[in-house]
Amino acid sequence: MKQLLLLISCIFLISCSSKEQNLNFLETALSSKNPKIKRVMDSIENYQVQIRYTQIDRRNDSVIFTDYDFQVNDSNYFYPASTVKFPTAVLALERLNTTDTLTMNTRYYVEGDTIESTFKQDVSEIFAVSDNLANNRLVELLGFEEINNSLRKKGITPVRIAHRLGQHSDDLRTKPLIVYLNDSSTGITKSILNKTPLELNLLNITKGSGYYQDDILIIEPFDFSSKNYFPISSQHNLIKRVIFPQNFDISERFNLSVEQRKYLLSTMHTVPRKAGYDQNSYYDGYCKFFIYGDTKENIPEHLEIYNKVGFAYGTLTDCAYIKDTEKNIDFLLTATILVNKDGIFNDDAYEYDEIGIPFLAQLGREIYQQELKRK
């Protein structure tokens, strides 16, 4: 009898221990009493938050993903802003492998423009400071239809990238690129005519109560149906394929050379000061919202954040792979939040610094601290 009771006690302890190890870290993080988390969670209906967190385990040579979601819904629209630059940069590198005349170091400029660049420099600027012009130059190389079709073929859906970013033309035709073939000759790429994108039919595709257009306040919800669409699930699937290509079939991987992939990963976690930007204007957390977004401290060398952020129209989004080489932990985290208290768009009155970035930064810290304790 004593032996039976001892056995039952042992089973109970093992069960409790197992349950303890499998706690939903995302749920725990969002239950935090920290005011940066609590003020959002106490009024969650105001912020259109969506989050996907992935625990990473390793068994021999296998990498195992366990996803945890909060309000993730592909049909619930949010404006992806600069996160669409991530697939554009990756696909541009892949495109270089289809011609013998283009490399990462090839110099070029857009017809009618005066800015000369290289594909390598554009990719760096996209991740270091989220440069709009660098992104738009790569869009001229690829065209919208190639971007969307290439992503779908790799299983990254749903997605619809349909316009350039920042000050730009909505022209559906891409501009030719003037490419330096060598010191004495140039080539020119063909212009691409993209199809007119269909309007999106999704939940929350209109937002707020008004918006400014040409300095005039229009009292009606802002319509995002012609904007880019890149939901949490698609962003997360993209970063999984970039960081862990071996987990996917060859048809779902990006065709990057060893040199290209090494460079891409390097640029994804390089902070602006190491890319030559002024540290006062572009501090380490400028494009790294998780953990360091609300501080101007330098990110330590052992903490590598491979990510792409987006911020526009009151929406903040970060898609990241976070790795601590000292503590030997890593995880994936993608999240978005809308901060537009007055409900008016294009008025530049968004609570980025007061609510949005502090929430994402603390979310990253909460998950990180739990990962430190995980066996």
The domains located in the chain, with CATH, are: 24-373 (3.40.710.10)
Which residues, at least 6 apart from 220, have a Cβ–Cβ distance to it below 8 Å? Answer: 209, 210, 211
Higher pLDDT, 2 or 374: 374
Q: Per the structure block, which two tokens stand in for 267? A: 């640029």
pLDDT tens digits, 353-365: 999 999 999 999 9
**How far apart (Å, rounded) are the C-alpha atoms in residues 360 and 375?**
25
pLDDT band at 113 (very low <50, low <70, confident <90, very high): very high
pLDDT band at 170 (very low <50, low <70, confident <90, very high): confident
Task: State whether residue 334 is helix, strand or coil.
Answer: strand
pLDDT of residue 11 exceeding 80: no
pLDDT of residue 3 exceeding 50: no
pLDDT tens digits, 92-101: 999 999 988 8
pLDDT of residue 167 exceeding 80: no
Q: With pLDDT > 90 as the criterion, what percentage of the chain qualifies?
A: 87
**How far apart (Å, rounded) are the C-alpha atoms in residues 270 and 157?**
28
pLDDT band at 8 (very low <50, low <70, confident <90, very high): very low
Antiparallel, parallel or unpaired: β 186-188 and 177-180? antiparallel
pLDDT of residue 13 exceeding 50: no
pLDDT band at 200 (very low <50, low <70, confident <90, very high): very high
pLDDT tens digits, 31-56: 999 999 999 999 999 999 999 999 99
- Determine the number of helices (DSSP H) and then strands (DSSP E) in the chain: 10, 14
Higher pLDDT, 21 or 318: 318
The predicted pLDDT at position 171 comes to 85
Mean pLDDT value across the chain: 92
Q: With pLDDT > 70 as the criterion, what percentage of the chain qualifies?
A: 93
pLDDT band at 17 (very low <50, low <70, confident <90, very high): very low
**How far apart (Å, rounded) are the C-alpha atoms in residues 360 and 337?**
8
pLDDT of residue 269 exceeding 50: yes
- What is the arithmetic mean of pLDDT over 15-39? 76
**How far apart (Å, rounded) are the C-alpha atoms in residues 65 and 200?**
31
- pTM score of the predicted model: 0.92
Q: Do 11 and 348 contact (CB within 8 A), yes or no?
A: no
Q: What's the full length of the chain, in residues?
A: 375
Our measurement of the distance from residue 129's CA atom to the centroid of its chain's CA atoms, rounded to an integer in Å, reads: 13
**How far apart (Å, rounded) are the C-alpha atoms in residues 118 and 120?**
5
**How far apart (Å, rounded) are the C-alpha atoms in residues 280 and 284?**
10
Of 274, 243, 341, which Cα lies nearest the Cα of 284? 274
Higher pLDDT, 332 or 61: 332
The predicted pLDDT at position 168 comes to 63
